[in-house]
């Protein structure tokens, strides 16, 4: 089960459903240069195809170049699936009777001998003697022999009646080489392999437009690349997947570590589960761990002690999305007997916050070490709520001093200050909110606390506050994937997701490259 999750994670579920349907399916993947089409094709080869039943026909790049760019392909199982077009040509020649190659020039014979030596790494398993329909291929070959394409047909035939996966990279490479119209070649693959021989055929197009051949195939996917705030972002658009329900038409994707991964969904391993108890991540020297190892690395160890850190949240980012980032930090404080003082944002719920945290730490720790300043409450039955609306100025200050003592606890430890500035600005105005912020910054730096400030778009206090922050991050939504990137320090964009190995509330950051 864990192996299956590993195989399919990162490929959109709609694509998996499409390729796993009954019979063969044809798919065109189009996009400009550098968008990740080749990486996607190779990912399908590993995560969807089966050994001895999946083939990658490359007409643009030899297999050794592919191995240099994608080292993970060097595994024996994957090497057997990479079919360089030149090698397939030589493979076809090698099947000729002895002496047939003697008529070739010596230079060509040397190439053949060298290729035969290299092909020893391929271990082909002969299948049942079931035939592949070759009607349309035969018609095309009357005009021009296509030994590598014929070789692929032979390989598919050996795998029958099992379904094969064929990835052709690129469609233009084959049709240009043999002077074919793209439409007639796609039609041949569709009729011979897809419809008659139970084969999934993925055709990679070197350009962003399909040129009118979309109607011939069962599926069409496009991949685009753009810049967002001077940072690279890739999008996958599911334009057509016949007989497949497309829940999400767009996915943000990354090519991190030479692998293709669609973002915004997760396929947890069998071992992953929601952890009942949070085990704290150790704090590096002069830092507080965020509770997320990836985020600690990004920050050079974690949040600096005595620092105030701004997170500007876009309007289309939900509370649950940015809490994936904050919850591990909250838990890491509480499980080390450090408290929290919070001013929650509009829409955030103190009941939900408590419910979330006490799943992973003892309820009495939350109730004694967390204080939530509620500026709209006059009364409360909860010990962790400070009803600020009932107090005048002096009483409010005394109430906050009492709250700070609770957060420090008997050990007088530093605590975390979580401040949503939209609440302060809407209730008190921007000038009062800024003065409260300055007071909080002084306290944070003096005591060595950790400050986290939440900003929403359009706040008047933002410019003043951001000038004083030690770090400044933006949390945005890209194709339904919550993402974060740093303005100070400057970072690339990272997708935020539950850790597939450990399960929620553990989180991971995946760079979008």
Domains detected in the chain: 2-262 (3.40.50.300), 287-511 (3.40.50.300)
What percent of the chain is modeled with pLDDT above 90? 56
Instruction: For residue 112, name the pLDDT band (cuts at 50, 70, 90).
Output: low
CA distances from 321 to 87, 268, 343, 482, 498 (A): 49, 18, 18, 6, 10
The Cα 269–Cα 133 span in angstroms is 40
Average pLDDT over residues 181-193: 94
pLDDT value of position 395: 86
Average pLDDT over residues 476-501: 95
pLDDT in tens, 169-182: 889 988 998 899 99
pLDDT value of position 70: 57
3-state secondary structure of 50: coil
pLDDT in tens, 394-449: 888 888 889 999 999 999 999 999 999 888 888 778 787 777 777 777 777 778 89
Lowest mean pLDDT, pick from 8-17, 119-128, 196-205, 281-290: 119-128
The answer on pLDDT for 208 being more than 50 is yes
Collect all residues with Cβ–Cβ distance below 8 Å to 402 and sequence separation of at least 6: none
The Cα 306–Cα 450 span in angstroms is 6
The Cα 270–Cα 257 span in angstroms is 24
Query: C-alpha angle with apex 117: 114 to 121, nearest 5 degrees?
Result: 135
Alpha carbon 68 to its chain centroid, in Å, reads: 23
Strand ranges of the sheet holding 54-58, from the earlier edge strand across to the other edge: 82-84, 54-58, 164-169, 199-204, 26-31, 219-228, 231-241, 250-254, 261-262
pLDDT value of position 235: 96
H or E element, residue 237: strand 231-241
The Cα 234–Cα 23 span in angstroms is 31
Show the DSSP H helices in 54-145 as ranges: 63-69, 76-79, 85-94, 106-118, 135-141
* Greater pLDDT, 479 or 209: 479
The Cα 17–Cα 200 span in angstroms is 12
pLDDT value of position 121: 35
Among 265-269, 287-291, 346-350, the range of highest mean pLDDT: 287-291
Q: Are 89 and 148 in contact (CB under 8 A)?
A: yes
pLDDT value of position 122: 39
In three-state form (DSSP H/G/I as H, E/B as E, the rest C), the secondary structure along 310-346 is EEEECCCCCHHHHHHHHHHHHHHHHCCCCCEEEECCC
Instruction: For residue 275, name the pLDDT band (cuts at 50, 70, 90).
Output: low
Q: Are 254 and 485 in contact (CB under 8 A)?
A: no
pLDDT value of position 26: 97
The answer on pLDDT for 84 being more than 60 is no
Query: C-alpha angle with apex 61: 55 to 64, nearest 5 degrees?
Result: 80
């Amino acid at each position: 089960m864990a192996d299956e999750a590993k195989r399919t994670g990162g490929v959109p579920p709609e694509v998996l459903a499409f390729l796993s349907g009954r019979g063969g399916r044809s798919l065109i993947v189009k996009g400009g240069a550098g968008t990740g089409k080749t990486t996607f094709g190779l990912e399908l080869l590993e995560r969807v195809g089966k050994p001895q039943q999946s083939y990658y026909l490359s007409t643009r790049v030899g297999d050794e170049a592919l191995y240099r760019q994608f080292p993970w392909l060097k595994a024996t199982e994957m090497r057997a699936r990479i079919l360089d077009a030149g090698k397939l040509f030589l493979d076809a020649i090698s099947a000729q009777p002895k002496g047939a190659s003697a008529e070739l020039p010596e230079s060509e014979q040397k190439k053949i001998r060298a290729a035969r030596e290299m092909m020893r790494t391929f271990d082909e398993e002969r299948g049942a003697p079931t035939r592949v329909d070759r009607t349309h291929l035969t018609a095309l070959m009357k005009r021009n022999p296509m030994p590598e394409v014929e070789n692929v047909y032979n390989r598919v035939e050996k795998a029958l009646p099992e379904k094969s996966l064929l990835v052709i990279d690129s469609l233009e490479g084959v049709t240009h080489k043999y002077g074919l119209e793209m439409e007639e070649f796609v039609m041949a693959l569709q009729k011979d392999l897809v419809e008659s021989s139970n084969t999934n055929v993925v055709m990679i197009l070197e350009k962003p437009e399909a040129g009118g051949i979309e109607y011939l195939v069962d599926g069409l996917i496009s991949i685009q690349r753009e810049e967002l705030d001077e940072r690279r972002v890739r999008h996958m658009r599911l334009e057509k997947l016949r007989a497949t329900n497309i829940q999400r038409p767009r996915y943000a994707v990354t090519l991190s570590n030479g692998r293709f991964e669609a973002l915004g969904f997760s396929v947890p391993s069998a071992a992953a589960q929601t952890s009942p108890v949070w085990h704290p991540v150790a704090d590096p020297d002069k830092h507080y761990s965020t509770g997320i190892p990836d985020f600690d690395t990004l920050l050079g160890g974690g949040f600096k002690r005595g620092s105030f850190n701004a997170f500007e949240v876009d309007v289309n980012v939900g509370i649950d999305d940015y809490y994936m980032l904050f919850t591990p930090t909250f838990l890491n404080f509480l499980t080390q007997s450090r408290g929290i003082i919070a001013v929650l944002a509009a829409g955030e719920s103190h009941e939900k916050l408590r419910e979330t945290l006490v799943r992973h730490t003892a309820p009495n720790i939350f109730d004694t070490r967390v204080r939530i300043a509620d500026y709209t409450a006059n009364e409360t039955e909860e010990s962790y709520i400070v009803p600020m609306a009932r107090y005048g100025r002096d009483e409010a200050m005394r109430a906050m001093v009492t709250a700070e003592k609770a957060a420090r606890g008997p050990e007088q430890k530093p605590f975390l200050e979580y401040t949503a500035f939209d609440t302060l600005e809407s209730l008190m105005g921007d000038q009062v909110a800024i003065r409260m912020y300055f007071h909080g910054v002084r306290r944070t730096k003096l005591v060595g606390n950790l400050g986290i400030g939440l900003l929403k778009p359009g706040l008047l206090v933002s410019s003043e506050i951001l000038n004083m922050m030690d770090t400044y991050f933006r949390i945005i939504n890209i194709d339904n994937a919550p993402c974060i990137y740093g303005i100070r320090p400057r970072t690339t964009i990272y997708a935020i997701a539950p850790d597939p190995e450990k399960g929620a509330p553990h989180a991971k950051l995946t760079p979008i490259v």
